[in-house]
Amino acid sequence: MCKYCCIIPDDVLRRLSEDKTYSAEVRRGLEQTLRFDVQLRKLREQARKLTTISQAVAPTLAALATAPAITLYNCQGSQTLPGASVANPGKSTDKTVKRAFVTTTAVADFYKSVFGRNSIDDAGMTMMSSVHYGANYNNAFWNGTQMTYGDGDGAIFVDFTRGNDVVCHELTHGVTQYTLQLNYSNEAGGLNESMSDVFGSMFRQWSAKQTVAKADWLIGKDIMGPRAIAQGLTCLRDMAKPGAAHCLAPQPDHFKKYKPGMDPHYSSGIPNFAFYKIATALGGKSWEKAGQIWYKSIVGLGTAPNLRMKKFADRTRKVTAQLYPGDAAVASAVDQGWKQVGL
């Protein structure tokens, strides 16, 4: 079944909510987040279907604006979306509001300056976000039309707007919705989550002006709370070491470990590791070559809702030959990176 797109896997929330080493309040917040997340899945899937139908009727979108408007709403602890409109969010004294605005603006700039993309839909779509969602809500999600961020419980997770990779991860689910239109199950689901991790990681590196050698390749490092850190859990995922013990949700690093029906948050570790291998083999900055190959593979070869990992790997090989004809080093890096994960 397709799920709406969030950063924390359901089974992690379930496992933590059943861990009695945490306080009753923390466990209750995790359980409530899980229950609410289950009900939100249908909304995201319906939005994906509507996008598919809309693009079939009108394949070329009329541009709404030359650059996207960035709007912010404050749920003020409620679960009413979008919440109260925030005027001048870039000057807000609410750090969460301001951070969401600044980071979303930066993501729009990243996609425009690095890939030439005009917002989520490449047609100037307004980038709308809601913050302070729910009480101690332990997640962030793209629901098909907008972004929503919880404040975390302060123990396992902190304010989800603190992770700039988290912000880009979720907004990239929107980009995937308007490009490949990947389903959220089986191999396509793993690719869906991987696209968001890859571009979220690239954005984090781009923001810090890091080379692939300097980057830590962690996903969700900045949203981990003090209790989680004290237990040695320093991130959600690690693209360089998918199965590492410091990950809250360790992942497989080879296709032989893939199982049909696997949660996309886990199977995404396979293409994540391939991207890491390719980017580090190429050196320099991840968005300059590896990122260009990934982006072109997403937008340049049509929709593919049920795309398999081997097919996507072959797409990147084909795109590499188009973007870097005659460059044996780049072709080898891409080919070998995929082969190292069994693809």
Catalytic residue annotation: 170, 265
| Helix (H), strand (E), coil (C) string for the chain | CCCCEECCCHHHHHHHHCCCCCCHHHHHHHHHHHHHHHHHHHHHHHHHHHHHHHHHHCCCCCCCCCCCCEEEEECCCCCCCCCEECCCHHHCCCHHHHHHHHHHHHHHHHHHHHHCCCCCCCCCCCEEEEECCCCCCCCEEECCCCEEECCCCCCCECCHHHCHHHHHHHHHHHHHHCCCCCCCCHHHHHHHHHHHHHHHHHHHHHHHCCCCCCCCCEECHHHECHHHHHCCCCECEECCCCCCCCECCCCCCCHHHCCCCCCHHHHCHHHHHHHHHHHHHHCCCCCCCHHHHHHHHHHCCCCCCCCCHHHHHHHHHHHHHHHCCCCHHHHHHHHHHHHCCCC
